[in-house]
Structure 1
Amino acid sequence: IHLLINNYKSTGWYLLNNVFFSQVGAALPVDVLTYEEKTLSAILRVVSSGLVKLWSALTLLGFYQNRRCAFRVLQASPFLLALSGNSRELVLD
């Protein structure tokens, strides 16, 4: 999905309100922290109690603006710093 993001906070609201859960989803605070157009990847921030709802919505979403789409969750962590690297690729000197 190519997202046109001008304001990260309003985009998170737009996705929840118009794509994921309608008015129920609009009550779930989700922030788009970063979005990379080149790799079509984003970092989303959601409160821990909303993780299952967001993940479910991403899984169930098959079309966006009349185009097929699919989301793949690469990492999930309660700590933002943990998303900056991959411990499986860590090389100790």
Structure 2
Amino acid sequence: MKWIALFTMLIDHIGAVFLENGAIAAYNQQLSSAFSYEATLALYHADHVLRFLGRISFPIFCFLLVEGFVHTSNRKKYALRLFLFACISEIPL
């Protein structure tokens, strides 16, 4: 299940970074490097498909998080590790 969640999250991020913030944003800003209207429209539809598939990852990760919490021997340590990983994950922003 982790691999499915990781793969679908990767799909979602590809749609967000390369299509929404890349090709579609370039067209919206009327940059000279932008694709044509037809190509951008096709990328827009592809972006919707990628983002839809990527939305599967969040419920899977939530399920895995709860399963880990239920089956851990020390819930305080588990919660502390989750908190520390969340803090580390936010540093690049």
- Give the TM-score, by structure 2 length: 0.26
Which has more helix, going by share of residues? Answer: 2
- Give the TM-score, by structure 1 length: 0.26
The structure whose Rg is larger is 2
Q: Greater RCO between the two (CA within 8 Å, min separation 6)?
A: 2
